Structure 1
Amino acid sequence: MAKAKKKEKKKGGISLNLVLIFQLIIMLGLVLTITNIISSRTRANSDAHLNMTTEERAQVILNYVEVSERQLKDFSRAAQVTELLEDPENEEKLQAAQKLARDFHLDIPYIEGLYISKWDTTVLVHSTMMGAIGKPTRSGDELILLQEAIKNSGKQVYNGGIMRSPASDKQVISMYKAVYDSLGKPIGLVGIGIETDGLITTLDRISGANKNAADKEVKAKQAQSALTNAFYYMIKADSGNILFNGQDKGKIDVPIEVDELKKLCEKYGATNTDATGKIEYTDGGKDYVASYVYIAKYDWLFTVNVAKSDIYSLTYAMRVFLGAFGAIIIVLTTVFFFINKRQERINQKLVSTIAKNAQTRQSLNTAMFKDVLTNANNRVSFSMDMEKSDVSADKPCYFMMFNILGFSEINTRYGNDAGDRLLVRTVETLNDIFPDRAVYRTGSDEFVVMIPTENGQPAPEQVLNDVNTAFRQLMVPEKIDNMGAIYPKFKIAVIKRSSAADTSVVSALKDMTNRTGEATYGMIDYREM
């Protein structure tokens, strides 16, 4: 029984541990799933923000260039320009055109210069560089290529792209527009150089692409942006040369050194289709993410580049937070597991203590109210039961005594062990015949059985019949090894008490047995009191 209980407890402990482990697995699974979902969505949002920023900046570049082209086109339509090119030797027309160029120059920010030249590029008017007047800007094959490119542009502006100006050594966007006579023959051209510093400044002033340390308002807007330290490249795709560099403004007109960007130049160079995308690369031992826009019209590849640790900082932070949360869950579950194990041990000790106390109480109860040898109720128990008994005329009670005749002689002749066996057998027999009835050992060799009545039952005849049955079984010989057998004899008396009962019942029963002596089957002494 004890082993079975131990196994049952162990089984319960294992099942609780499995529940804790299962709970931990579920929690870890949820943490990992939530981490992946949030990380992927945060990363996607960061990528989308970077792509949007790049496309916005590319549009800023297009708008900047298109505004300059419109300004040059407007300048080419001025009457002073056509009149001068039709009569380049006319001093009055030359002065009028020179004034026009200077006035236009003042209205265009970041302009290097605005000029009018003959079709062979000999400068007639220049808004800033008077020393360039009378000199051609192209000759030989360069002149032929420029003329063809301008004519191919028709009435539109030919954008020569971003280059370093031979006059000012500044990086400029160089644009040209042919001027035609009434017959549609080119008689000259106008040109403009727009410094890229203006474009870079425009980009710098837009929060999120690059930071302008001199602009406190822009700097404040960028403080919380993942693109605070972003920088950009403008690359001529067909050549792979850097046109301007937001990271190192002095490093221009040199080939791009990043392999991934070289591959993009090879992929899109001289193609006629705009494209967007994102790449990741490593430069100088640091990982970067670059979003790009290929502007096919000018064969420019524009990229916004940002350190991977910056753009995905929120993703990394979420992973760290959720990882810490998962670790806390593991720690708490582990702590709970050990607390539970400790509580189980405490509970086991408590249960063991309670069981021991119950055993102690039972032992004390047995010692006080039970006969140790036969486990029958003792005289103390009989006395206490009599005090609590409810015996009256309406509820009479039967008391019967079974007294072993000559018990001391049996002990002397057969030994105490044989006598003890006879006593035990006597109680067992009485318990069998009178189940659920109180059996008392009121003396060394006497036993009393108490049978309360309920609604007049049992009747005296039934009680006496049971007494005779018990007597017959008690008379069965008790075999003793090597000593023959004991043939027990009994003195028996029965009383039906109809008034309050007390310990005097035992005395009355003794008197009856002493008077009648050895009991005879079927002739048991019975009285009503």
Structure 2
Amino acid sequence: MRGQKKMSAVSLVLIVQLIIMLVLSLVITMTISSETRKNTIQNLETITDERANIIETYVKNAEDKLTYFSKSQEVKKLLESPENLSLQKSGQAYTEDFSRDIDNLEGLWIGEWTSHCIAHTNPETVGITTRKNETALRQLQDSLIAAGDGVYNAGMIISPASGKQIVSMYKTVYGENGDPIGFVGLGIYTEGLVNTLNNLSIKGAKDVTYAMVNVKDDKYVFNNNSELIGTETTNSEIKSICKDIRKGNNTKSEFEYTENGKKYIAIFSYIKDYNWIFILNDTKSEVYSLTNVMRVYMAIFGFAIIVLMLIFNFISKKQEKANQKLASTIIKSNKTKESLYTAMFKDVLTDVRNRIAFSMDFEEQKSNPSEPYYFVMYNINGFSSVNTRYGNDVGDWLLVRTVDILGQVFKNGKIYRTGSDEFIVALKGNIENVAYTDVIEDATEAYKRLTAGQNTPMGRINFEFRSSVCKKSGAINTSIITVLKDMINKNSNATVGQITYNDLDS
């Protein structure tokens, strides 16, 4: 009898333990699922901003080439004397020669103020007047005058000549008296830009598509479905975002919508200089795939525990064996929780704490004024271009090398990777040992090392960094990240000895 009571008690203890494990697993899974969703969206926001920057750079590079072309003496002399056969010949030769250095070129040309073409990469086009309609010509002239000495960007259009999408732009050429004597025009195929975006794959995202909308009229500037280009969007969410931007209202950078029975999550970035919004779309199931896997894991784990509970109720006579099995299960569960903890709070590549860890470490953190926290942010300037130019291996090497240098300089600091290209070092100061001057000296030393030439797998390369420092005591939370980012964005030319500092207690 004693043996039976003892075995029943052990079974009860085991069942209670299993129930506790089930509840604990549920809590951990829910927490990780929530943070994973948040982290996934933040990652997509970073990727969207990077893609938008690529588009903006692509267009600006084309504008720079057109500006350079417009300032040549061959162009100006030809426009001053368009009937001069010798100048026509040299102008045509210069146009063709200049065109050879422009990738994805549709056409480069010189036009009189009446839009009469007097030089073109395609000689057969010379002599054509592109704006025969007086209203259309006046609209073009007004736009050119409004642009002043800058480039008038007509945006992405379907070329009437080639039937393909191009970036179309013009620039006025002025005479000695300051009056316009003509203009130059450039058309660049967007195919190269599209190929660049498609070649930048996103790990775990195969269903990603891109779109771009003109905020002014809600019309598609770019879409994977070429038939929609130039048409007004029917997506109510996009219309609402464009309306908010036109009014100057802030709006969230993400939204959800349903199309053809599928649910999508869209992240957008506003390209202010051109009044476009660049949109990254992906299926909701793919975005939250990791969360769904966690739920499946929870269901399987929960089901396994229930099965074990039933088994332990019927095998009280084999309690010793059951105890051994339970001990093994607990060890495996602890290892699983430890692995999940590491995956949640650490950056796999650099082995430092990640943004989630920063949120957990400093959410509602408080410190005495005599022991304030110093936060130092380092941002790799143009990180996406590093990956594009030198490859992902060099990009990964640079991230690891950045952490090594920060660890060498800030020996008592905690390093966090809070974004794809940004790191924060957190130091707790005090009046006697760590003060403002010490932090700035270390920040400057780290900046010098980071921007010095690095012996990478691709040879010796100099990388650019931007940095900011702030001090905070009392209540601390993740808004510190936003403050540091804003400081960097307002002082993008930070150099050694000019690192931006902000005392948030003053």
Which of 193, 217, 221 is 1:243 aligned to? 221
Task: Report how far residue 276 of structure 1 moved.
Answer: 6.8
Q: Does 1:144 align with 2:144?
A: no
AA partner of residue 64 (structure 1): Y
Tell whether the 8 Å contact from 1:111 to 1:193 is kept in structure 2 after alignment. yes
Task: Report how far residue 288 of structure 1 moved.
Answer: 1.0
Within a 5 Å distance, the mapping from 1:23-38 to structure 2 comes to 23-38=17-32
AA partner of residue 212 (structure 2): M
Q: Does 1:117 align with 2:111?
A: yes
Q: Secondary structure at the match of 1:85?
A: helix
Q: Secondary structure at the match of 1:47?
A: helix
> In the alignment, which residue of structure 2 is the partner of 1:200?
194
Distance 2:319 2:46 in 1: 59
AA partner of residue 267 (structure 1): D
Task: Report how far residue 160 of structure 1 moved.
Answer: 0.9
Q: TM-score, normalised by structure 2?
A: 0.58
Task: Report how far residue 138 of structure 1 moved.
Answer: 5.7
Within a 5 Å distance, the mapping from 1:310-389 to structure 2 comes to 310-340=286-316
Q: Deviations over 1:100-124 (max 9, x none)?
A: 1111211111111011111222221
Task: Report how far residue 272 of structure 1 moved.
Answer: 7.0
AA partner of residue 234 (structure 1): M
Task: Report how far residue 147 of structure 1 moved.
Answer: 1.8
Task: Report how far residue 126 of structure 1 moved.
Answer: 1.4
Task: Report how far residue 261 of structure 1 moved.
Answer: 2.1
> In the alignment, which residue of structure 2 is the partner of 1:303?
279
Which of 158, 182, 185 is 1:188 aligned to? 182
Larger radius of gyration: 1
Instruction: Give aligned-pair identity as a percent.
Output: 40
Q: Secondary structure at the match of 2:253?
A: strand
Q: Does 1:170 align with 2:164?
A: yes
Distance 2:70 2:134 in 1: 25
Tell whether the 8 Å contact from 2:118 to 2:127 is kept in structure 1 after alignment. yes
> In the alignment, which residue of structure 1 is the partner of 2:229?
252
Task: Report how far residue 23 of structure 1 moved.
Answer: 2.9
> In the alignment, which residue of structure 2 is the partner of 1:67?
61
Tell whether the 8 Å contact from 2:215 to 2:242 is kept in structure 1 after alignment. yes
Q: Deviations over 1:149-175 (max 9, x none)?
A: 222222111111111122222211110
AA partner of residue 109 (structure 1): D
AA partner of residue 279 (structure 1): F
Q: Which runs of 5+ in 2 are unaligned?
A: 321-506
Q: Secondary structure at the match of 1:297?
A: helix
> In the alignment, which residue of structure 2 is the partner of 1:449?
none
AA partner of residue 64 (structure 2): R
- Cα 1:262–1:119 change in 2 (3 A) is same
Tell whether the 8 Å contact from 2:207 to 2:282 is kept in structure 1 after alignment. yes
Distance 1:343 1:299 in 2: 72
RCO greater where, 1 or 2, for CA within 8 Å and sep 6 or more? 2
Task: Report how far residue 285 of structure 1 moved.
Answer: 0.6
Q: Secondary structure at the match of 1:50?
A: helix
Distance 2:189 2:249 in 1: 27
Tell whether the 8 Å contact from 1:165 to 1:172 is kept in structure 2 after alignment. yes
- Cα 1:259–1:15 change in 2 (3 A) is farther
Tell whether the 8 Å contact from 1:277 to 1:292 is kept in structure 2 after alignment. yes
Q: Does 1:49 align with 2:43?
A: yes
Tell whether the 8 Å contact from 2:80 to 2:181 is kept in structure 1 after alignment. yes
Q: Does 1:76 align with 2:70?
A: yes
Which of 228, 235, 243 is 1:266 aligned to? 243
Distance 1:240 1:172 in 2: 19
Q: TM-score, normalised by structure 1?
A: 0.56
AA partner of residue 232 (structure 2): P
Tell whether the 8 Å contact from 1:68 to 1:194 is kept in structure 2 after alignment. yes
Tell whether the 8 Å contact from 1:258 to 1:283 is kept in structure 2 after alignment. no
Tell whether the 8 Å contact from 1:81 to 1:116 is kept in structure 2 after alignment. yes
AA partner of residue 95 (structure 2): A
Task: Report how far residue 19 of structure 1 moved.
Answer: 4.2
Task: Report how far residue 17 of structure 1 moved.
Answer: 6.9
Q: Deviations over 1:116-146 (max 9, x none)?
A: 1112222211112623524133633332222
- Cα 1:330–1:113 change in 2 (3 A) is same
Q: Deviations over 1:388-427 (max 9, x none)?
A: xxxxxxxxxxxxxxxxxxxxxxxxxxxxxxxxxxxxxxxx
Task: Report how far residue 37 of structure 1 moved.
Answer: 1.8
Distance 1:184 1:277 in 2: 44
Which of 81, 92, 102 is 2:96 aligned to? 102
AA partner of residue 328 (structure 1): A
Distance 1:63 1:272 in 2: 24
Distance 1:306 1:156 in 2: 37
Distance 2:317 2:17 in 1: 16
> In the alignment, which residue of structure 2 is the partner of 1:179?
173
Tell whether the 8 Å contact from 1:274 to 1:293 is kept in structure 2 after alignment. no
Q: Deviations over 1:478-499 (max 9, x none)?
A: xxxxxxxxxxxxxxxxxxxxxx
AA partner of residue 237 (structure 1): V
Task: Report how far residue 80 of structure 1 moved.
Answer: 0.6
AA partner of residue 262 (structure 1): K
- Cα 1:343–1:168 change in 2 (3 A) is closer
Distance 2:176 2:252 in 1: 43
Distance 2:110 2:56 in 1: 25
Q: Secondary structure at the match of 1:244?
A: strand
Tell whether the 8 Å contact from 1:97 to 1:125 is kept in structure 2 after alignment. yes
- Cα 1:22–1:28 change in 2 (3 A) is same
Distance 2:167 2:47 in 1: 23
Tell me the number of residue pairs that the alignment of Structure 1 and Structure 2 aligns. Answer: 320
Within a 5 Å distance, the mapping from 1:436-447 to structure 2 comes to none
AA partner of residue 98 (structure 1): Q
AA partner of residue 220 (structure 2): I
Greater displacement, 149-158 / 17-26 = 17-26
Task: Report how far residue 281 of structure 1 moved.
Answer: 1.3
Distance 1:121 1:305 in 2: 40
